[in-house]
Every structure is written in structure tokens, then in C-alpha cells.
Amino acid sequence: MNRTVKLILDVGIGAVVPVLILNNLNEQLGTVTTYITAAMVSVTWIALSVPEIFGFWAAVVFVRRAMFSYLPREDDKEQDESDFWQLLRLSEMQKLDESCSVGHN
């Protein structure tokens, strides 16, 4: 689905339709039923987006694991528990040490 169309649908169904329901159906349905109906439109639209959200979350997890897999491990921690930037500095220091030791041989 085109991004522009998706954005228009998100705003329309998530915000505009509930407001229209609240403004136009209050007298016919009653206050409580109108609020519940308006809320359910937004909740349903969010629930339909859950697979997309899960897919994005899974991609983030896989990319994070891939980045950590190329970094060195700290002795006293699991790889996922370590600070990414600290591991990156450690990796750069190891590369620097290797390049300095090759130059001296």
C-alpha cells in the first residue's frame, strides 16, 4: 500500500472517523454507546496494524542481533547485556592493536 494512502487511512480511521461518530451519532445511539463505538473504531484499526508492528519489531531485533554478532564479547557479560557503543570502541581498539602489531613484525 502506498505510504500516502496508508497515512491518510491512519489519520482518517484513527482520528477523523471517531470524531465524526461522536459528533453525529450521539443523539441516535446515546452517549455511552457512541463513545464505545468511536473507541472501537480506533482500537480495531490499531489491532489490524499489529502484524505490521510485529514485523517492524522483529526486523529491529534481527538487525540488533546481527550488529552484536560482529562485535567482540565482554568476559563477564552476555553479548546482549553489553553496551553497544562500548563494544564498538573495544572492537576498534582491537583492530588498532592488530594493525600496530602487524607493522612492528
Quick: pLDDT tens for 84-102: 888 888 888 888 888 887 6
Is the Cβ–Cβ distance between 20 and 11 less than 8 Å?
no
Q: Phi-psi region for residue 19, left (φ > 0), alpha (ψ -120 to 50) or beta?
A: alpha
Which residue range is the domain that position 4 belongs to? 1-50
Separation between Cα atoms, residue 68 and residue 6, nearest integer Å = 33
Could you tell me the pTM of the whole model? 0.48
Task: Count structural domains, the chain.
Answer: 1
pLDDT tens digits for 42-69?
A: 888 888 887 888 888 888 888 888 887 7
**83 within some domain:** no
> Grid coordinates 592493536 are at which residue?
97
**26 within some domain:** yes
- Longest CA pairwise span in the chain (Å): 88
**99 within some domain:** no
